[in-house]
């Protein structure tokens, strides 16, 4: 009989166990790897007073500023906003935000409550970001990504009623395992599975899918230990549990709720995940404590020019002082998103300019909703995690802190990612986005209207300092990725858009470390 091949084995692992299991199998076989960060950067050699001008105080710019100054460079940072962080941003009670077009929002959350409009979680295998959090003493706490007691929902499935993720997951896994076990038992996979592995595979499917001795997935106390009971086990008289009914396999398949099951299984979402205590912006705050003295805030860059002797940047003071200013340096690390850089006067090379102008930026919308009480915990027993839906809001993420506390709490009531839903939200006013989030969210949680207190909505295509959530590479070779990461005479670009981990803070940091390493080598070695 045919032995397992790597390809067939990975395929079977991915089908039966999900993408996370396949990823880790690929890692073991040498086909995949997490972040390539191996430890703090070492910039050896004396730069002898070389000055570097850094454009942008997001995480890429802050990383460059911290490491270059530590290596002996003179550093100056120009930042468009009134504070550091860029997309590493938290909206707290009392904060104000004005989007492109003039709509202004004041965050009316209770004191201490917040929402992260940009990055909101940290994978444990984003080693660079985790290391900087440790070095900068940013306290972290668990972020609950996966909660099987949360809901999965489609308007055309189960009469539009949300279902517990754990029940759908268990039944889908059980029904699929039964089908696969039958196929193996009937010899239909003899070309893929050797004789000596057939029984081992069936045994694994019985365990994985909770099958009985006949390789069938049936209603039983055993299956209920995975999907939940009709009557929970208790104590004393009448304490025996009652098993729950299984969903019909055809209904499970046709519901398409299985689409949401593998979301948590990509390696970037593999537990544990983390979040900074008090909001993602605490990372930027920690960086700013170290390098804030070299940052000029409210500085809008309007021109970037270079020649063989250095760089000259013209910028406007938009913080109230007014006026046009000029900064010069020997070199420049430009972390301005290409969506903005393309609108700035510059004399960068034709190759880099072409890449800048060809990059589109992802549209994303987040809506933070504050409610009078934690009804998701008190009524639905959901503590952290994410519910998924086919409504335009796509998901609801519950706070991973303050469990069982009284008073108002904030959840993420909408998170769109590219596509039509983002365009729809982008065309709305903030108030309309909040109304949509309420209207769609109440299909999952009927308590929404009665418990709603306040909301804030951020559409990233209307965020003035980015005009998008993250850079999009449809074809890195055709779009000129290699040109974009090169040192362009006196300028080197960095940011999440110049990494293979786009939209993640890890990508911004790794891109910055790579850029300044190559720049330092040029300064020291010529």
Buried b (16+ CB within 10 A) or exposed e, 502-516: bbbbbbbbbbbbbbb
Range of the domain at 512: 51-85+285-361+471-525
- Alpha carbon 512 to its chain centroid, in Å, reads 19
Q: What is d(CA 399, CA 408) in angstroms, rounded to the nearest whole number?
A: 12
In CATH, what number is assigned to the domain containing residue 319? 3.50.50.60
For the chain, the average pLDDT equals 93
State the pLDDT at residue 446: 98
Q: What is d(CA 55, CA 494) in angstroms, rounded to the nearest whole number?
A: 10
Same domain, 234 and 177: yes
Same domain, 414 and 454: yes
Assess whether the previous peptide bond of 305 is cis (omega < 30° from 0): no
Q: What is the mean pLDDT of residues 497-516?
A: 97
Same domain, 352 and 480: yes
Q: What is d(CA 415, CA 391) in angstroms, rounded to the nearest whole number?
A: 11
State the pLDDT at residue 30: 35
Identify whether 16 is part of a domain: no
pTM exceeds 0.85 for this model:
yes
Identify whether 510 is part of a domain: yes
Q: Where residue 12 falls among pLDDT bands split at 50, 70, 90?
A: very low
Q: What is the mean pLDDT of residues 45-49?
A: 96
Q: Is the pLDDT of residue 33 over 70?
A: no
Q: What is the mean pLDDT of residues 376-396?
A: 98
State the pLDDT at residue 34: 65
Higher pLDDT, 465 or 262: 465
Identify whether 160 is part of a domain: no
Same domain, 275 and 388: yes
Same domain, 101 and 68: no
Identify whether 11 is part of a domain: no
Q: Is the pLDDT of residue 192 over 90?
A: no
State the pLDDT at residue 29: 33
Q: Where residue 273 falls among pLDDT bands split at 50, 70, 90?
A: very high
Q: What is d(CA 474, CA 119) in angstroms, rounded to the nearest whole number?
A: 22
Same domain, 134 and 201: no
Q: Is the pLDDT of residue 15 over 70?
A: no
Higher pLDDT, 155 or 33: 155
User: Which of 441, 462, 483 is the last residue in one of the domains?
Assistant: 462
Same domain, 379 and 417: yes
DSSP 108-164: -PPTT-EE-SS---EETT-HHHHHHHHHTT--EEEE----TTSEEE-TTSGGG--EE
Q: What is d(CA 193, CA 177) in angstroms, rounded to the nearest whole number?
A: 15
User: Which of 462, 485, 502 is the last residue in one of the domains?
Assistant: 462
Identify whether 516 is part of a domain: yes
Identify whether 314 is part of a domain: yes
Q: What is the mean pLDDT of residues 409-423?
A: 94
pLDDT digits (tens, 9 = 90+) for 425-440: 999 999 999 999 999 9
Same domain, 275 and 394: yes
Identify whether 208 is part of a domain: yes
Q: What is d(CA 357, CA 343) in angstroms, rounded to the nearest whole number?
A: 9
Q: Is the pLDDT of residue 510 over 60?
A: yes
Same domain, 478 and 356: yes
Same domain, 408 and 521: no
In CATH, what number is assigned to the domain containing residue 207? 1.20.1440.240
In the chain, how many domains are there?
Answer: 3
State the pLDDT at residue 1: 35
In CATH, what number is assigned to the domain containing residue 437? 3.90.660.10
Q: What is d(CA 512, CA 331) in angstroms, rounded to the nearest whole number?
A: 14
Q: Is the pLDDT of residue 301 over 50?
A: yes
Same domain, 394 and 442: yes
pLDDT digits (tens, 9 = 90+) for 122-148: 999 999 999 999 999 999 999 999 999
Q: What is the mean pLDDT of residues 267-271?
A: 89
User: Which of 410, 433, 462 is the last residue in one of the domains?
Assistant: 462
State the pLDDT at residue 123: 96
Q: What is the mean pLDDT of residues 421-426?
A: 94
Identify whether 95 is part of a domain: yes
Q: What is d(CA 204, CA 9) in angstroms, rounded to the nearest whole number?
A: 14
State the pLDDT at residue 189: 87
Q: Is the pLDDT of residue 19 over 90?
A: no
Same domain, 449 and 483: no
């Amino acid at each position: 009989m045919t032995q397992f091949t790597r390809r067939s084995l990975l395929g079977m692992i991915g089908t039966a166990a999900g993408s996370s299991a396949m990823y880790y199998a690929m890692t073991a076989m040498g086909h995949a790897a997490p972040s390539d960060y191996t430890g703090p950067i070492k910039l050896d050699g004396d730069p002898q007073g070389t000055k570097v001008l850094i454009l942008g105080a997001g995480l890429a710019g802050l990383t460059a500023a911290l490491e270059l100054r530590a290596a002996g460079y003179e550093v100056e940072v120009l930042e468009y906003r009134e504070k550091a962080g860029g997309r590493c941003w938290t909206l707290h009670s009392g904060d104000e935000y004005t989007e492109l077009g003039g709509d202004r929002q004041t965050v009316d959350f209770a004191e201490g409550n917040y929402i992260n409009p940009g990055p909101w979680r940290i994978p444990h295998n984003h080693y660079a970001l985790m290391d900087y959090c440790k070095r900068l003493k940013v306290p972290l706490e668990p972020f609950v990504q996966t909660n099987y007691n949360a809901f999965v929902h489609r308007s055309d499935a189960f009469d539009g009623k949300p279902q517990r993720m754990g029940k759908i997951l268990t039944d889908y896994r059980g029904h699929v395992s039964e089908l696969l076990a039958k196929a193996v038992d009937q010899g239909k996979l003899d070309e893929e599975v050797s004789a000596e592995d057939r029984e081992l595979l069936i045994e694994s499917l019985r365990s994985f899918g909770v099958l009985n001795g006949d390789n069938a997935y049936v209603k039983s106390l055993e299956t209920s230990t995975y999907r939940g009971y009709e009557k929970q086990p208790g104590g004393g008289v009448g304490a025996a549990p009652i098993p729950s009914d299984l969903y019909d396999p055809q209904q499970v398949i046709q519901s398409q709720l299985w689409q949401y099951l593998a979301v948590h299984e990509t390696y970037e979402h593999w537990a544990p995940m983390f979040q900074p205590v008090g909001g993602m912006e605490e990372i930027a705050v920690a960086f700013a404590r170290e390098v804030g003295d070299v940052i000029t805030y409210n500085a809008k860059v309007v021109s970037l020019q270079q020649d063989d002797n250095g760089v000259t940047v013209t910028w406007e003071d938009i913080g109230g002082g007014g006026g046009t200013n000029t900064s010069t340096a020997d070199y420049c690390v430009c972390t301005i998103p290409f969506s903005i850089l393309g609108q700035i006067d510059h004399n960068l090379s034709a190759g880099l300019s072409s890449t800048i102008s060809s990059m589109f930026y992802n549209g994303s919308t987040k809506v933070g909703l504050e409610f009078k009480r934690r009804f998701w915990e008190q009524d639905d027993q959901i503590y952290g995690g994410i519910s998924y839906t086919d409504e335009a809001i796509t998901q609801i993420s519950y706070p991973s802190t303050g469990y069982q506390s009284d008073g108002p709490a904030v959840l993420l009531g909408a998170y769109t990612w590219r596509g039509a839903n983002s365009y729809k939200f982008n065309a709305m006013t903030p108030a309309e986005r909040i109304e949509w989030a309420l209207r769609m969210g109440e299909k999952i949680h009927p308590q929404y209207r009665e418990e709603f207190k306040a909301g804030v909505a951020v559409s990233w295509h209307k965020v003035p300092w980015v005009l998008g959530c993250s850079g999009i590479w449809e074809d890195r070779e055709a779009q000129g990725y290699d040109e974009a990461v090169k040192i362009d005479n006196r300028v080197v670009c960095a940011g999440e858009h110049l990494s293979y981990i786009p939209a993640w803070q890890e990508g911004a940091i790794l891109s910055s470390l790579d850029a300044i390493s190559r720049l330092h080598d040029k300064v020291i070695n010529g």
